[in-house]
Amino acid sequence: MSARLEGRVALVTGAGRGLGRALALGLAWEGADVVVHYHRSVAGAEAVASEIIGLGRRAMTVQADITRLDEVERMALSAFERLGRVDVLVNNVGDAAPEQQSWRALDEGLIDRVLLTDVKGTLLVTHAVGRRMLEQRSGAIVNVCSNVVVTGSPRAPQYAASKYGVIGLTKSYAAAFAPTVRVNALGPGFIETETTLAREDWVYDGGFSMLGA
């Protein structure tokens, strides 16, 4: 294990499974104590926290619906009170509308759900945790975006729009919080998570490939 983040505290949203789980464990391997956020994946979050403790780091789980300001504020307050500080925030939670297979399948509910989670949720968590980082006079925020900001999403256009929104939030808070808190975005491609593997358009043809973004 590395000790690059020894003495630091990280908060990862959606850390009970998938990419969030990998990020939380990766931060722990680098020496950080970790706040493991979840919405519904309580068993997964508790398992991740146990793994982190097994690595000799501190860990806590916290439940919150990131689209509700009161719950986000409660999450941030709990993290800062129990672990003393938060040095790294990873806004990992996102909704790609995996059940939508074509732009033709227009569904207002799916449009609203994706924009609510990706844009409003990221904004609320960045705001609540970031202003506390300003008070402690240090911190770094990473917003998980997507390569759809380059490729677009013919499958679910609202997903690409939401991630463009995350880029806008990242630039805005980077300017607002500078130079005390750094705010950056990470734009990965497809990752082999439980959600991705469950999609109808994820097929095996001698190697995994994705049909539609």
pLDDT bucket at 2, cuts 50 / 70 / 90: confident
Strand-pairing partners, residue 88, are: 10, 140
Q: How far apart are CA 127 and CA 52, in angstroms?
A: 26
Catalytic residue among 38, 159, 164, 204: 159
Told to judge if 164 belongs to the known catalytic residues of this protein, a careful annotator would answer no
Q: Which amino acid is at 199?
A: R
pLDDT value of residue 3 = 85
What is the CATH class of 9-210? alpha beta
Encode pLDDT of 93-135 as tens digits.
999 898 898 999 989 999 999 999 999 999 999 999 999 999 9
Q: Where are the domains of the chain?
A: 9-210
Q: Residue 209: is its pLDDT beyond 50?
A: no
Q: Output the pLDDT for position 163.
A: 96
- Mean pLDDT calculated for residue range 58-85: 98
Answer yes or no: is pLDDT of 13 > 80.
yes
Q: Is the pLDDT of residue 152 over 60?
A: yes
Q: Which of 40, 60, 49, 58 is nearest to 21 (CA)?
A: 49
What's the whole-number average pLDDT of the chain? 91
